[in-house]
Amino acid sequence: MIQVYNLNKSYQKDSSAVRDLTLKVAKGEFVYITGPSGAGKSTLLKLLFAAEKPSRGQILINGQNLTRMNGKKIALMRRRLGVVFQDFKLINSRSVFENVAFPLEIQGKKRYEVSNKVYQVLKLVGLEHKIKRYPLELSGGEQQRIAIARALVIDPLVLIADEPTGNLDPDNTCEVMELFKGANARGTTVLLATHDRDIIRRFPRRVLTLDQGRLVRDLTP
Amino acid sequence: MRRVIYFLLRALRNMRQSPFLCSAAISTVTVALVILAFFALIVINVQQLTRHWSRDVQVVAYFDHPPASPVLDRQLSRIRQYPEVESVAYISPRQAFKRFQVRLGDDADLLQGMANDFLPAALEVRLTEKYRNSAGVQRVVERLRRNKSFADLRYGQEWLERFEAFLGLLRTAGLVLGGFLLFAALFIVSNTIKLTLYARREELEVMALVGGTPAFIKAPFLLEGALQGALGGLFALLTSFLFFSMVLKEDLGRLLLASGLGKISFLPPHWQILIVLLGCLLGLFGSLFSLRKFVRI
Ligand SMILES: Nc1ncnc2c1ncn2[C@@H]1O[C@H](COP(=O)(O)OP(=O)(O)O)[C@@H](O)[C@H]1O
Ligand SMILES: [Mg+2]
């Protein structure tokens, strides 16, 4: 599903956030990306959904070379990726419904299709009763689940999440992890960046460890 | 079609969400275009006046002595064939004498005792409308000179040249000022739209990240710009029409009427369309420029 070859990314001239990274993730896999702060986890994920351009190397998603795409192609590729951002990136001036419906609206889906799907996904994350609220009226955990709902509403090929449990208490963490596991069970490939060893211990899966931008370990339990 | 309606709704929603910025953009366009419309109005009416005046533009060619009638006929038919010429009339010395008498009116007795053919015979050459300017006069005069049968040529070219220079100046000033105003309006509109983009940067970012194509993201803003611009153009038209009918028609009218123009007119339809179109383009390009700097995807 994802192939990365000799990937390099440097924000500044003399330091690289990601160095010479080569890896493969098969369809349907659940993969953690871990490592200390500043290891390049976020950078790797940003490269995967083309929010950053690689300095060198190739990225193939579903057989398509991301590094050779123009703006429109990138947009079309992103429609098949569900991304959960570290800072949620919800639109505060829009209701929960509108936020979750946003990706479908952009794809030009029909109205009834959108509302059905949004309701379904909100039910999945257990927030269907907050459908008319606004993001700032919700707790951090709830906002996180809305962000996940927005990522899942398009039935993504790949779900990419950057520290999705970073700001959550243990109960919320558990719930969120169940959501990812559920999506993975339904066939979505999951990439999850975290520096939380606890989670990895409790939900063991393949772990890629980064350090100073290099892949230093690739363990499959 | 559904797309277009969707974009339109989004554009309208954007405008509703920031009414202040929206009206700022519209009024900028309005002000710029009102001034432009004004210049156009004045230039067009003065031009009208020139056209009116230049009906009298003619070249008079004097013969040494009255020509024999076959010579005259040959000259007449020859001159009539010039493309610049509308009509040629022969004025015999006697006709000239009568006209002179009429023009002298009460002082006609001055002519007492003069032979009634002491004035030279002449051809009065009227020009077609297209050539009623100094260049046209020049061409005809040159042709008549080459003709060599005339003792003297009279043409009121000097005032024509001056007037044309004045008109040219007015037109240039209008163009320069108009260009400058349009440029300033473009700058202001693009910055106002940049502010609306800034207010919506969150939404724009998310839109790009969940798969909005660049065209899809930009379209509503371009539409918003074009709408605001067109609205500004309409307001400009309305404002200048009101001003025209309340003030200008009276004052400029009195001035121009004194110089013999029948009536002063508002901008002709193609100018009205041009003004609205100009507003529309102004808004469109304004938002295009700000989007190019803002939406980096
Ligand atoms: N936008 C940026 N501009 C400059 N340097 C950056 C930027 N983003 C990340 N970095 C640098 O790249 C390195 C990796 O950062 P990041 O990928 O965020 O690590 P992690 O997510 O593993 O904590 C860090 O040294 C960080 O300072
Ligand atoms: Mg990070």
Q: Looking at the CA of A209, name the nearest ligand.
A: 1
What are the tens digits of pLDDT across the range A148-207?
999 999 999 999 999 998 878 888 888 899 999 999 999 999 999 998 888 999 999 999
What's the distance, CA B50 to chain centroid? 12
Residue A21 has pLDDT above 50, yes or no: yes
Q: What residue ranges in chain A does DSSP mark as E strands?
A: 2-9, 18-25, 30-34, 56-61, 64-65, 81-84, 158-162, 189-193, 206-211, 214-219
Q: What is the CATH number of the domain that holds B67?
A: 3.30.70.3040
Alpha-carbon distance of B272 to B267, in angstroms, equals 6
The set of residues, in sequence order, having a beta carbon less than 8 Å from that of B79 and lying 6+ positions away, is B85, B88, B123, B125, B143, B144, B147
pLDDT in the model for residue B297: 46
- Render the burial of B250-289: b for 16+ CB within 10 Å, e for the rest: eebbeebeeeebeebebbeeeebebbbebbbbbbbbbbbb
Q: A73 and chain B: CB distance < 8 Å anywhere? A: no
Find which of B210, B216, B291 to mutate to test the A interface (most A CBs within 10 Å of its CB).
Answer: B210
Q: Which of A72, A83, A106 sits opposite B207 (nearest CB)?
A: A106
Q: Which two tokens stand for residue B134?
A: 């100094």
Chain B environment of A91 (Cβ under 8 Å): 202-203, 206
A190, A29 Cβ separation under 8 angstroms: yes
Interchain proximity A108–B6, CB inside 8 Å? yes
Instruction: Give the range of the structural domain holding residue B62, as residue numbers without chain letter.
Output: 58-154
Same domain, B215 and B235: yes
Alpha-carbon distance of A81 to B173, in angstroms, equals 57
Q: Which two tokens stand for residue A158?
A: 């790949």
Give me the residue spans of the domains in chain A: 2-80+156-219
Final residue in a domain of this structure, among B122, B154, B186: B154
pLDDT in the model for residue A27: 94
Residue A167 has, within 13 A of its CA and on its CB side, a CA count of 12
* Position with higher pLDDT, A48 vs B72: A48
Handedness of CA A73, A76, A82, A87 (dihedral sign): positive
pLDDT in the model for residue B38: 83
Chain B interface, Cβ < 8 Å to A: 2-3, 6, 17, 202-203, 205-216, 297
Residuewise pLDDT in 10s, chain B (297 residues):
777 888 888 888 878 878 888 888 888 889 888 888 887 888 787 777 777 776 677 888 888 878 888 888 888 888 888 888 888 888 888 888 888 888 777 777 777 777 777 888 888 888 887 887 778 888 888 888 887 778 888 876 677 777 778 878 878 887 888 888 888 888 888 888 888 788 888 888 899 999 999 888 888 888 888 999 999 999 999 998 888 888 777 776 676 666 666 667 788 888 899 999 999 999 999 888 888 766 554
Same domain, B71 and B112: yes
Final residue in a domain of this structure, among B154, B174, B191: B154
Same domain, B249 and B279: yes
Alpha-carbon distance of A78 to A75, in angstroms, equals 5
A2-80+156-219 carries CATH number 3.30.450.20 = no
* Position with higher pLDDT, A90 vs B82: A90
Which of A74, A10, A81 minimizes the C-alpha distance to A40?
A10
Residue B166 Cα to ligand 2 midpoint, Å, equals 70
pTM for this prediction: 0.72
Final residue in a domain of this structure, among B117, B135, B154: B154
State whether residue A74 is helix, strand or coil: helix
Interchain proximity B213–A83, CB inside 8 Å? no
- Lay out the sheet containing A18-25: strands in order across: A18-25, A2-9, A56-61, A64-65
Same domain, B49 and B65: no
What are the tens digits of pLDDT across the range A96-132?
999 999 999 999 888 899 999 999 999 999 999 999 9
Length of chain B: 297
Same domain, B120 and B234: no
